[in-house]
Structure 1
């Protein structure tokens, strides 16, 4: 689908070089047009994983809108010569789209997290966005009844679906069932419900702007996170250097 939004090609992935405002506006237009739109955000971890996980790579590349989430990707793309205006963080876009949905009476469906967290998320967003229509919700532990959950979503009347399941499960789930979900827009939001429900604290704004959200997570869960980020960030640095030299070779080859 050609959405008329600028794209860049970075680390083998075409992604939209768009601002938060532009993204929200275009999604609203797609929903009004009833044009099914599959959305994803890419961060450092996802780009690194896509290098070895072909199914995830295919699920991401199948999306109509691919936003840049994470300052690491923004800085990496700029390092390689791309002009990226800003990051479009998934949790911030989630809130923008809920506000837009409440204003336009677009029903939404929330899928993912534990039963307690998804219910707390529903209660919170209904309080934050008066008039928001939550057509339905379901926890993220449904893999033994996957088709039943898909049917529940399709029958709910929701126009937007937000899937809060870990990567790559959410991307692959969306891509597998997109033709049967019955919604106009679907977006994977990862751990957003945990943040909205208050189970997990988001990094302070200064750390977000400095690209240090990963460090905040390491501080919160050092035993589980330090090795993951060390390996991921090291691989990303290698991919950046390779991409930079490839771009230089391409320029020299045209001279």
Structure 2
């Protein structure tokens, strides 16, 4: 986490461009069949392991990652950094009431001066380029995109040359957590790699098929990789 924040801060100061992405078990599985998602991830400048399962897998396969860097934790650290270093942030995604609540809470916690702009995540494909130009014109140093995968990864990869914001990243459902719409798992569950299970308990009907498939496939991919290494 500290190394990631330092690299991002240096990029903003030096006015270079970084595209950040996080991966978890589900995204690793989906990347196998979605070529555009795969290209969007591997062409990014920084890839962090958001899921604890990815960290465990890296150790099992002999290429250990130092720690999990959850997207929401990185976002919180970067909003604080923005306040400390006079950076501006653009928030893009989620429902209108959610993203506006996120902006309201961060403005109260830090300052309105960190807000470059915001927009909800509901749009048609024909609107994508105009949204990218809106972000570019906002003067933001940091862009958070709270849209589900693979839409956010593909959007950022497709339009990052137009956006030209020094640091861009997708943050999934993080806005819902910050706005108080969704509870985050207790710390012990996060450390135990059970944050997905906590989410499943909140929305079992919607999540059970997704997690049954992706978790099973991820385990198969890891063991297959281990066998290939041998």
Superposition CA RMSD, Å = 1.0
2:70 matched to 1:86? no
How high is the TM-score relative to the length of structure 2? 0.97
1:37 to 18, 26, 29: 18
Counterpart in the other structure of 1:162: 144
TM-score (normalised: structure 1) = 0.88
Q: Answer with 149-158 or 201-210: which moved more.
A: 149-158
> C-alpha displacement at 1:88, in angstroms?
0.4
Which residue of 2 is the match for residue 102 of structure 1? Answer: 83
Aligned residues: 229
Q: How far 1:83 moved relative to its partner? A: 2.2
Q: Deviations over 1:100-156 (max 9, x none)?
A: 111111111000000100000101112222465101000001224222211211111
**1:151 maps to what in 2?**
133
Whole-Å separation in 2 of the counterparts to 1:205 and 1:234: 24
Q: Which has the higher contact order (CA 8 A, sep 6+)?
A: 2
Question: What per-residue deviation string (whole Å, max 9, x for no partner) do you get for residues 46-71 of structure 1?
Answer: 00000010000000011000111111
Any idea what SS the aligned residue of 1:84 has? coil
> Which stretches in structure 1 are left out of the alignment for 5+ residues?
1-19, 249-255
Structure 2 equivalent of residue 116 of structure 1: 97
Decide which structure has the larger Cα Rg and report it.
Answer: 1
Structure 2 residue runs without a partner (length 5+): none
The partner residue of 1:229 within 211, 221, 226 is 211
Q: Which residue of 1 aligns with 2:38?
A: 57
In the alignment, which residue of structure 1 is the partner of 2:184? 202
1:17 paired residue number = none
Question: Are the equivalent residues in 2 in contact too, given 1:155–1:182 (CA < 8 A)?
Answer: no
Give SS of 1:179's match: helix
Greater helix share, structure number: 2
